[in-house]
């Protein structure tokens, strides 16, 4: 009987402790050694703002996709092209977030990571105008990626022996080999499209844009 009472008490203690945990819903953080988290502040901050830049680009292309899909405009090729671009930009921001998570330095900054800004522009008169805007946009994104690379290649860090420049080799290599690579190909693709469409419109006017829209759907 004593045994029974004792075990009932133990059970009660265990379940009330569990109930408290459930209510608070705050499991303790894992105790992870932190010396592998070696990103420097300046580089880290630039990466964070690059994530925002990719999100802003995504929102801008989303607006372009929606614009060309309106029944009064009805250019399904342009719309599909820009919706795809929006999805790619979102993927870029996702990949950068994953990178910071891999390096372990994004532990407590998630709530301030992303702001959803309205797209800067929502009206385009022609397809060429939108493609030219997209190219301008990509040029500014390329510039901003180069800014991250420059910072991460020589991030000044104060130490006991004075300021030292730290090179984040892996991140610099990743941004150069993957991101810049895609930027340059994307810019050239847009330039080619602008060229073809511009020539078509010079020779055929609005019919040129109509035909090119079909081509974009292929
Ligand atoms: C990354 O995390 C380590 C360990 O918590 C910390 O010492 C370092 O300052 C962090 N770097 C940045 C840029 O947050
Ligand atoms: Fe991008």
CA proximity to 179, closest of 55, 88, 49: 88
pLDDT, position 62: 98
Q: State the distance from the centre of ligand 1 to the C-alpha of 38, rounded, in angstroms.
A: 6
Instruction: List, in sequence order, every residue forming a beta bridge with 157; answer none if it has no partner.
Output: 164
User: Per-residue confidence of the chain (218 residues) as pLDDT tens digits?
Assistant: 566 566 655 555 555 555 555 566 778 888 989 999 999 999 999 999 999 999 999 999 999 999 999 999 999 999 999 999 999 999 999 999 999 999 988 877 888 899 999 999 999 999 999 999 999 999 999 999 999 999 999 999 999 999 999 999 999 999 999 999 999 999 999 999 999 999 999 999 999 999 999 999 98
Q: What is the CATH number of domain 37-216?
A: 1.20.1260.10
Tell me the C-alpha distance between 166 and 169, whole Å: 9
Q: State the distance from the centre of ligand 2 to the C-alpha of 152, rounded, in angstroms.
A: 18
Instruction: Judge if the beta carbon of residue 157 lies within 6 A of ligand 1.
Output: no
Helices (H) and strands (E) in the chain, counts: 7, 2
pLDDT, position 215: 96
Q: State the distance from the centre of ligand 2 to the C-alpha of 39, rounded, in angstroms.
A: 22
**CA distance readout (Å), 174 to 96, 99, 122, 171, 180:** 10, 10, 33, 5, 9
Pocket test for ligand 1, best of 30, 33, 37 (most atoms within 8 A of CB): 37
What atom of ligand 1 comes closest to residue 40's alpha carbon? 13
Structure tokens at 105: 């330095």
Q: Which residues contact 125 (CB under 8 A, 6 or more apart)?
A: none
- Delimit the domains of the chain by residue range: 37-216
Tell me the C-alpha distance between 135 and 191, whole Å: 7
Other Cβ atoms less than 10 A from the Cβ of 161: the count is 6
Ligand nearest to the CA of 50: 2
The pTM of the full predicted model, rounded to 2 decimals, is 0.85
Ligand nearest to the CA of 138: 2
pLDDT, position 29: 83
Element holding 59 (H helix, E strand): helix 41-69
Say if residue 78 is exposed, middle or buried (CB neighbours under 10 Å; 0-12, 13-18, 19+). buried
Instruction: Judge if the beta carbon of residue 41 lies within 6 A of ligand 1.
Output: yes
Tokens 């929102």, residue located: 59
């Amino acid at each position: 009987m004593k045994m029974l009472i004792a075990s009932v008490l133990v059970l009660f203690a265990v379940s009330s402790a569990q109930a408290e945990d459930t209510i608070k819903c705050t499991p303790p953080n894992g105790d992870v050694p932190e010396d592998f988290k070696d990103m420097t502040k300046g580089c880290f901050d630039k990466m964070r703002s690059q994530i925002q830049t990719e999100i802003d680009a995504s929102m801008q292309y989303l607006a372009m996709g929606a614009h060309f899909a309106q029944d009064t405009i009805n250019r399904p090729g342009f719309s599909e092209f820009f919706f795809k671009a929006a999805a790619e930009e979102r993927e870029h921001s996702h990949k950068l977030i994953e990178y910071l998570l891999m390096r372990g330095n994004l532990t407590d900054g998630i709530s301030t990571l992303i702001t959803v800004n309205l797209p800067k522009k929502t009206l385009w008169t022609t397809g060429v105008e939108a493609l030219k805007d997209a190219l301008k946009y990509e040029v500014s994104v390329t510039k901003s990626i180069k800014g991250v690379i420059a910072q991460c290649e020589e991030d000044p860090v104060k130490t006991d022996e004075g300021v030292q420049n730290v090179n984040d080799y892996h991140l610099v290599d990743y941004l150069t080999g993957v991101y810049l690579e895609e930027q340059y190909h994307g810019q050239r693709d847009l330039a080619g499209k602008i060229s073809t469409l511009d020539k078509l419109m010079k020779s055929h006017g609005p019919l040129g844009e109509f035909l090119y829209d079909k081509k974009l759907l292929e």
